[in-house]
A = this chain, B = another copy of it.
Amino acid sequence: MTVVELEELLEQLAPAALKLGNDPIGRCIGSPQTTINKIGVALDATVAVISQCVEQGINVLVTHHPLIYSPLTRLDQTSGFPESAVVAAVKADITVLSAHTNWDCAFGGINDVLADILELTDCQPIEVTQGSVVRNTGIGRIGKLKSPIEEAAFLQLVESRLNITVRCSEPRKRLVQTIAVCGGAGEGLYSSVRDRADVYLTSDVRHHMFVAAYGENCTLWDAGHRETEIPGTKHLGTLLSQHLDIPVVWINEPSI
């Protein structure tokens, strides 16, 4: 099986038309005609992840985040990420592809997995992808808990399900039921959910957005970038494994 066939499968699972803006999704290292031995799936193509690929005989790596996000004018493996990882991948003949905002938006992608974990029902995208002809989907999900629960109880549920300490204001004494989620950096969608949700769960929230949310009905929670995206990225690996006769392995990102 060749890389171009894998690209076709990814197009079905996470159609490129769903990506946001100029997100450089897809293959950034390697060639379409390469034969695949074994597939690795990870959040980021760090040097440590590339080393894992080499050790495990993996020659194609699918990541959530694109490895070459800003165009490169120099390749010096001693000057840090991502140059170091680009050089490592090229030298090890590892093809690198990413399914990023297209997988965030896709049916069954990052955000649907996150909504499932929190047992949200009747989910809709927060914002429908502009110009998308690929059915009615988009970024983030907004859905309902089976029944209203105390904000503090829901906080506990989130922290336990995602195994994270949420960064937020002190929970208010009130019931919440309509929940918005966006795995990864989603503070830009706050104004879009402000009048529609009781809680908005995302990550990479900067101070000025917390300030904007003070006193609003919709509480803003930062639940961690890795923690909100790893479940959906692992799920992509599971899907690939189900569709292909090639071994697919999850590579945990070494954090040191």
Is A68 within 8 A of B74, CB to CB?
Answer: yes
Cβ of A133 within 8 Å of any chain B Cβ, yes or no, is no
A75 vs B87: C-alpha distance when bound (angstroms) = 10
Give the contacts of A109-156 with B (CB-CB under 8 A). none
Chain B residues contacting A91 (CB-CB under 8 Å) are 90-91
Interface string of A30-62 (1 = CB under 8 A from B): 111100000000001011100000000000000
Task: Determine if A19 is an interface residue (Cβ-Cβ < 8 Å).
Answer: no
A211 CA to B85 CA, complexed, in Å:
11
Number of copies: 6
**Chain A residues touching B, majority SS:** loop
> Is there an interface contact between B225 and A46, defined as CB atoms closer than 8 Å?
no
Min CB distance, A163 to chain B, in Å? Answer: 14
Q: Is A169 an interface residue (CB 8 A)?
A: yes
A90 and B75 contact, CB distance less than 8 A: yes
Q: Which one, A8-16, A200-208, A242-250, is touching chain B?
A: A200-208
Chain B residue contacts of A65, Cβ below 8 A: 207-208, 211
Closest Cβ of chain B: how far from A196's Cβ, in Å?
13
Cβ–Cβ contact B211 & A81, under 8 A: yes
Among residues of B, the one whose C-beta sits closest to the C-beta of A226 is B207
In contact, B76 and A30 (Cβ under 8 angstroms): yes
Closest B residue to A70 by beta carbon equals: B71
Q: When the two chains form their complex, are residues B208 and A78 in contact, meaning their CB atoms are under 8 A apart?
A: no
B78 touches A169 (CB 8 A): no
A80 at the binding interface (Cβ < 8 Å): yes
Question: Residue A169 contacts which of B28, B33, B86, B256 (CB distance < 8 angstroms)?
Answer: B256
Enumerate 28 A-B pairs (CB-CB under 8 Å) in ascending A order: A24-B73, A28-B74, A31-B77, A47-B215, A48-B214, A65-B208, A65-B211, A68-B72, A71-B73, A72-B72, A75-B86, A75-B90, A80-B191, A80-B212, A81-B215, A81-B216, A82-B212, A87-B90, A90-B90, A91-B91, A165-B165, A167-B224, A169-B256, A170-B255, A170-B256, A185-B206, A203-B207, A214-B255
